[in-house]
Chain A
């Protein structure tokens, strides 16, 4: 089966998201789709899956023109997509989620749960998608939820599977599992389109690579012959410095210190036990660890979003334990949250409103009673310019921004106000290489200017590139403190709890 897009164009008001794009993919092939934030990748895939209608252009399947008016039309033609934000019902079981909207019916018009369950098992064994059909989705780790999404579209007999930044939220181990799944799918004759910002990943698993820039298809690359830097240049249109420079600098006095910090997790168990650490001025302290080992709880405790059960935190030698998020923010502690959609932004609000989301009460934007939208608007324009947030105007809602541009908006907001300490969680998740370069350089220059930075990232490379010192979280404890030139293998072992 061959799926082709011919001369596809799509605009949102003044923004040309896709301009005359041609693309094709066939069975048994993995096509990589690269491009800067806002280049139009997601838009193009939304057109292919019937979520949007193109302004012009054609979709051809086996050389026949097809028109998709909604995702159902696309799935009928064998095209399915795993979105970056999963679309599962958390309180339903795996097999219930899989059949939702496509339920097998018994002869008395009841949902045939038994058949559903068997179907799920059949698919999962055929493609090596290990998952328990009876488990509730909310209890599953992200990597397994992703498998459920895959089973869901396979159940609808998809021949083309589209993955929009599937690896952004996965742990390194889960990424390996995911690659195995992709090669199984490929072997059984499925066509696959894979979107990512991680260049080594496309080189590793794709057969062909297409690159978009500002809505246009700017080139193809052969994964066997290309390199990271060539791909980066093709994407951004200039050469990108993929190696972050971190000049030596002497750290200053202690900025933040925690003593025997204990915090409960959501399951009312001890989420963190006895966390002791010091963070200095002019220092980047990296937190390495597989997601779910207490990093989130720790950061929530520091930012006032989670109650501290015992122990203490001090900041500039002053104790602060269980202060409100507002008070902590006012002390110059800024927080880039790990989930921009759930926490960092309000999707329905405009860029302007999001830029002042946690500073609206400050003198610059209000007189304590009424808001000054004009100064908020100029602040938005400034952040957008400085952090290259691409949008048609400041008044559009945040959910009309591409994923990476949303992330840049959050970073720009937090890094452009008065700041002593920056707590950054997954700061470059979903961000393109050019912007990673810029964000990293901003973090480094903040550190050079005397700011202390706590960096939490599941990207080990990012931790190693930026951190002056690394601590490793495992099962709610700090199991190792390492210098930044430690062998990545040793860090990896510590992340798995192996320390000698």
Chain B
């Protein structure tokens, strides 16, 4: 009880209320899952299957140590990228380009991973920093275009995503990068010193959760601090909330936009690098796997609040892990998970809807 009061106080810093980033996501997800299952019944599946699917969703995400490990592994890159998108939201920027930034950051990271020989800690640090830097640089382009030519970031990030997809295919076929003896676009594998260590090797070396998750939590704290406790974060929020007032207050809005966009790209670049280093070990042509797009939903669900992002990132990770189990044990297509994710976004975009479905959770106005 005491604890929850403390948490509430922490949120009051920016008046994103506890209920906004705690109850609404939970309720939105419950609603979405219920509707998803209803849809399943409507397609003619039996109650039995729906029930199995529901149970599998939970068992596969939180039901065992290995399920939890899968959930958090899937959550890690989502949290990184969504933090970046949240920073963008705070500064009034809609960064659709996390996917492209993940690709560019991941590609740069994989090159460092297989081509440089260094001791473990140094190698990891270098690889992650280079990945972050390349993600930032790629997003910088959109930030710069927005600040100095007025080009809308939604358009430019979409274009840069397309460019990133093609660039990836091109690079993966370069002899320097392509795995020896392969014709398909696939990179060499990173060296052992470039792999983020797994966290639960003592319990079972097959548990995939890796140190990237700890870095993601660190990033959550750091981004929280930046947004709410630093001058630059204050400037982000000023520019994002009232541009006129920000200019009046002497904020250099162009610079702020460029910085916010680059910071967003940095986070996405880290998502790519940690995914390569912690899970994949190499880059393939589809390695970004839509993480950058799912991260938009995660950031929305988390109300652009770092703690909300952590929380909803884990929920989305759970959907991924649970979805796999659902597919295996209930034979239900993974598409259902996509439908549920889409429903979640609808409910999040319409918090009033959620509030009117569950009025008793929320005080009267």
Question: Mind listing 24 A-B residue pairs with CB under 8 Å?
Answer: A305-B247, A325-B247, A325-B249, A326-B251, A335-B248, A342-B244, A343-B248, A344-B248, A347-B242, A348-B241, A350-B15, A357-B245, A358-B249, A360-B231, A366-B231, A369-B230, A370-B229, A370-B230, A370-B231, A371-B229, A371-B231, A371-B234, A373-B13, A395-B15
Q: Quick check: A358 and B250 within 8 Å, CB to CB?
A: yes
Which residue on B lies nearest to A340, using beta carbons? B245
Asked if A343 contacts B231 (CB within 8 A), the reply is no
Interface bits A298-338 vs B (CB < 8 Å: 1, else 0):
00000101000000000000000000111101000001010
A489 adjacent to chain B (CB < 8 Å): no
Neighbouring B residues of A342 by C-beta, 8 Å: 242, 244-245
Q: B206 near A: Cβ within 8 Å?
A: no
Which of these, A305, A368, A370, contacts B248 with CB under 8 Å? A305
Chain B residues whose C-beta falls within 8 Å of the C-beta of A326 in the assembled complex:
250-252
Encode B227-241 as 1/0 by CB contact (under 8 A) with A: 001110010011001
Add 4 more A-B contacts to A303-B248, A358-B250, A395-B12 (CB < 8 A).
A305-B248, A335-B248, A358-B249, A369-B231
**Central interface residue in B229, B237, B244, B245, by most chain A CB within 10 Å:** B245
Distance, CA A228 to CA B244, complexed state (A): 38
A349 touching B247 by the CB < 8 A rule?
A: no
In Å, the complex CA distance between A360 and B232 comes to 10
A370 to B232, CA, bound (A): 8
**A346 contacts partner chain B, Cβ-Cβ < 8 Å:** yes
Complex alpha-carbon distance, A325 and B15, angstroms: 29
CB distance from B91 to the nearest CB of A (A): 13
A368 to B230, CA, bound (A): 8
**Residues of B with C-beta under 8 A to A335:** 248
A361 within 8 A of B: yes
User: Are A349 and B241 in contact (CB-based, < 8 A)?
Assistant: yes
A349: B residues at CB distance < 8 A: 237, 241
Q: Which residues of A contact B248 (CB under 8 A)?
A: 303, 305, 325, 335, 337, 343-344, 358
Q: Which B residues touch A325, using CB under 8 A?
A: 247-250
> Closest chain B residue to A349 by CB distance?
B241
Q: How far is the CA of A361 from the CA of B234 in the complex (A)?
A: 10
CA distance A311 to B250 in the complex (A): 23
Shortest distance from the beta carbon of B163 to any chain A beta carbon, whole Å: 35
User: Of B12, B225, B231, B244, which contacts A361 at CB under 8 A?
Assistant: B231
Taking Cβ atoms with an 8 Å cutoff, the residues of A that contact B are 303, 305, 324-327, 329, 335, 337, 342-350, 353, 357-358, 360-361, 366, 368-371, 373, 395, 397
Q: Which residues of A are found within 8 Å of B15, using beta-carbon distances?
A: 348, 350, 395, 397
Interfacial chain A residues near B241, Cβ < 8 Å: 346, 348-349
Chain A, residue nearest B15 (CB): A397
CA distance A147 to B39 in the complex (A): 52
Q: Chain B residues with Cβ under 8 A from A348's Cβ?
A: 15, 241-242
Closest A residue to B248 by beta carbon equals: A343
C-alpha gap A345/B241 in the complex (Å): 11
CB-nearest residue of chain A to B234: A360
Q: A434–B247 Cα gap in the complex (Å)?
A: 32
Q: Find chain B residues with CB under 8 A from A358 CB.
A: 248-250
Q: Could you tell me the distance between the alpha carbons of A370 and B234 in the complex, rounded to whole angstroms? A: 10
Q: How distant is the Cα of A325 from the Cα of B249 in the complex, in angstroms?
A: 7
Decide yes or no: A368 and B245 within 8 Å by CB, A326-B250, A397-B15 being known contacts.
no
Given contacts A350-B15, A370-B231, whether A345 and B245 have CB atoms under 8 Å apart is: yes
Q: Is the CB of B230 within 8 A of A343?
A: no
Q: What are the interface flags for B248-262 relative to A under an 8 Å C-beta threshold, 1 for contact and 0 otherwise?
A: 111110000000000
Query: In the assembly, what is the distance between CA of A344 and CA of B249, in Å?
Result: 8
Contacts of B251 in A (CB 8 A): 326
Chain B residues with CB below 8 A from A368, complex form? 231
For the complex, give the distance between the alpha carbons of A345 and B246 in Å. 9
Tell which of B238, B242, B247, B249 has the most Cβ of chain A within 10 Å.
B249
A240 CB, nearest partner CB in chain B, Å: 32
Q: Which residues of B contact A357 (CB under 8 A)?
A: 238, 245, 249
Q: Contact between B245 and A343 (Cβ–Cβ < 8 Å)?
A: yes
* Alpha-carbon gap, A205 to B242, bound state (A): 38
Nearest residue (CB) in A for B246 is A346
> Which chain B residues border A329 with CB–CB below 8 Å?
250
A497 to B248, CA, bound (A): 31
Chain A nearest CB from B247 CB (Å) reads 6
Closest to A368 in B: B231
Nearest CB on B from A429, distance (A): 16
Task: Report Cα–Cα, A347/B238, bound state, in Å.
Answer: 11
- Cα distance A348–B249 when bound, in Å? 15
Q: How far is the CA of A303 from the CA of B244 in the complex (A)?
A: 13
Residue from B13, B231, B247, B252 with most neighbouring chain A CB atoms (10 Å): B231
The residue among B15, B225, B244, B248 with the most chain A CB atoms within 10 A of its own CB is: B248
The answer to whether A353 touches B234, judged by C-beta atoms less than 8 angstroms apart, is yes
Residues of chain B with a CB closer than 8 A to A346's CB: 238, 241-242, 245
A371 to B14, CA, bound (A): 14
Which residues of B sit under 8 angstroms from A395, Cβ to Cβ? 12, 15
Residues on B with C-beta less than 8 A from A397 are: 15
Among A303, A366, A371, max chain B CB count under 10 A is at A371
Q: How far is the CB of B233 from chain A (nearest CB, A)?
A: 8
Most buried by B among A342, A343, A347, A373: A343
Closest B residue to A304 using CB positions:
B250
By a CB distance below 8 angstroms, the chain A residues around B249 are 325, 357-358
Enumerate chain B residues within 8 angstroms of A327, measured Cβ to Cβ.
250
The answer to whether B244 and A343 have CB atoms under 8 Å apart is: yes
Q: Do B252 and A324 touch (CB < 8 A)?
A: yes
A140 to B13, CA, bound (A): 40
How distant is the Cα of A349 from the Cα of B14 in the complex, in angstroms? 8
In Å, the complex CA distance between A370 and B227 comes to 10
Kindly report which residue of chain A lies nearest to residue B250, judged by CB atoms: A326
On chain B, the residues within 8 Å of A353 by CB distance are: 234
Taking CB atoms, residues of chain B closer than 8 Å to A337 are: 248
Residue of chain B at shortest CB distance from A342:
B244
The distance from the CB of A427 to the nearest CB of chain B, in whole angstroms, is 15
Question: What residue in chain B is nearest A367 (Cβ atoms)?
Answer: B231
A342 to B246 alpha-carbon distance, docked (Å): 10
Closest to A328 in B: B250
Q: Is the CB of B250 within 8 A of A371?
A: no
Interface centre among B12, B234, B241 (most CB of A within 10 A): B234
Residues of chain A within 8 A of B225, CB atoms compared = 370
Return the CB mask of B93-135 against A: 1 if under 8 Å, else 0: 0000000000000000000000000000000000000000000
> Measured between C-beta atoms, what is the minimum distance from A340 to chain B in Å?
10
CA distance A350 to B234 in the complex (A): 12
* Closest B residue by C-beta to A335: B248
Which A residues touch B242, using CB under 8 A?
342, 346-348
Chain B residues with CB under 8 A of A324: 250, 252
| Residues of chain A contacted by B229 (CB below 8 angstroms) | 370-371, 373
Least CB distance from B352 to A in Å reads 13
